[in-house]
Structure formats: structure tokens, C-alpha cells
């Protein structure tokens, strides 16, 4: 049986270049640099973002709220390919244009519970945006629940520290929301 921690993911260096591959378990345990790509899925009119709660059995950030369909970059895959793959897997959305927004490096820090290594998690985050008014089909193994939220409702969710929100997605969402009216 294939364990999620055995999945091989792309290794990156601190400057953001892909340099190899290692198991997810080793990457997390040793706090190795890797990359993730995610898509903020907005309604066609741009007034809402799809928000979901991660499943309770995810390896990291289990049960947390999230507004990015995303995941780690696979070996040999570009961040754009990852974003497109994850949007299809997690939300069932295909055939949409992806607009690159920005990329940033992120470290969760020690003692956060997000990575077992001394530095926590270290990742280069690649943010994309897509617009969609069609059906959303949740991947049950990844997403516990989800719905469309108005931009101000998402801002309120992010401000409510009593509701755990995936910290890497928080960075992407807060930066993008700061650019929107």
C-alpha cells in the first residue's frame, strides 16, 4: 500500500531552483526546501472565492480552513502544471486560464506543528488565480467541505484567529485580498 509520506516531491534550493527529489516524509522531517503551487478560484464576476476545509487526515494542516486548491510540486513538474493538476484533483475544475499572481518563500518556523524538522516547513509558494462559474466537485480525501465566500466574508474568516487557517494559504490570500477592493 502506498503511504502519502512515501510520495516523491521536488526539492528546491533556497533561491527557488528545482534541484532534485525526495520523499515527502524526508522533506518534512528534515525541513528541506520544496515548492507548492495553488490557485485562488474566484467566481466569474470576481466577487467570491471558493473556500474549503482540509480533510482531518492530511499530513500537514489537517482540518484547517483554506482558500487555495494546491499542493506540492512533483519532480520534473512546473508550478503551473502543479496548479492546474491540483485545481482539477481537489475541486474538479479544468479548462480554465490560470493567471500567475506572485511567488514567495515561506518558512513555518520551529514549534508550529506544521513540520517535524527543526525549522518547520520551508517552501516556495507559487500563487495563481482562475475564474469559474461552473460546478465544483470536492475530492473527498483532500477536502472535508467547501463553499463560495464573498471577499469580505473571507477577510473576516482570516481575521478570526479562533478558526485555524492554513498559514501558507493565508499568506497568498491576504496578499491578494489587499490588492482587491
Tell me how far apart the terminal alpha carbons of the chain are, to the nearest angstrom. Answer: 48
pLDDT (average), residues 56-63: 86
Q: What is the pLDDT of residue 64?
A: 95
Cβ pair 5, 59 in contact under 8 A: yes
- What was the pLDDT predicted at 61? 86
C-alpha–C-alpha distance, residues 180 and 84, integer Å: 23
The pLDDT of residue 117 is 61
Q: Please say if the pLDDT value at position 178 is more than 70.
A: yes
Strand-strand pairing, 122-131 and 33-42: parallel
Q: Going along the chain, which residue ranges are E strands?
A: 8-12, 18-23, 33-42, 48-54, 65-66, 69-72, 99-107, 122-131, 143-150
* Confidence bin at 113 (pLDDT 50/70/90): low
In tens, the pLDDT along 2-50 reads 676 789 999 999 999 999 999 999 998 899 999 999 999 999 999 999 9
* CATH, residue 154: 3.90.79.10
pLDDT band at 60 (very low <50, low <70, confident <90, very high): confident
| For range 123-132, the mean pLDDT | 97
* pLDDT for res 58: 83
Mean pLDDT of the chain: 92
User: Does residue 146 surpass a pLDDT of 60?
Assistant: yes
* Mode of pairing for the β-strands spanning 65-66 and 48-54: antiparallel
Rounded Cα–Cα distance for residues 108 and 120 (Å): 5
Whether pLDDT at 89 is above 90: yes
3-state SS, residue 165: strand
Range of the domain at 157: 4-179
Mean pLDDT score, 91-103: 97
pTM of the model: 0.91
Give the three-class secondary structure for 175.
Answer: helix
> How many domains are there within the chain?
1
Amino acid at each position: 500500500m502506498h503511504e502519502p509520506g512515501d510520495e516523491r516531491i521536488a526539492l528546491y534550493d533556497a533561491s527557488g531552483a528545482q534541484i532534485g527529489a525526495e520523499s515527502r516524509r524526508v522533506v518534512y522531517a528534515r525541513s528541506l526546501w520544496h515548492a507548492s503551487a495553488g490557485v485562488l478560484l474566484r467566481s466569474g464576476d470576481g466577487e467570491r472565492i471558493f473556500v474549503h476545509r482540509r480533510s482531518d487526515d492530511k499530513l500537514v494542516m489537517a482540518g484547517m480552513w483554506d482558500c487555495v486548491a494546491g499542493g506540492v510540486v512533483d519532480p520534473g513538474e512546473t508550478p503551473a502544471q502543479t496548479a492546474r493538476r491540483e485545481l482539477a484533483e481537489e475541486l474538479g475544475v479544468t479548462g480554465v486560464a490560470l493567471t500567475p499572481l506572485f511567488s514567495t518563500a515561506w518558512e513555518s518556523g520551529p514549534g508550529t506543528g506544521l513540520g517535524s524538522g527543526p525549522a518547520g516547513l520551508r517552501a516556495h509558494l507559487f500563487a495563481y488565480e482562475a475564474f469559474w462559474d461552473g460546478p465544483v466537485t470536492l475530492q473527498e480525501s483532500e477536502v472535508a467541505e467547501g463553499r463560495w465566500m464573498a471577499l469580505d466574508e473571507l477577510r473576516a474568516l482570516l481575521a478570526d484567529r479562533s478558526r485555524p487557517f492554513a498559514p501558507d494559504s493565508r499568506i497568498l490570500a491576504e496578499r491578494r485580498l489587499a490588492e482587491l477592493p
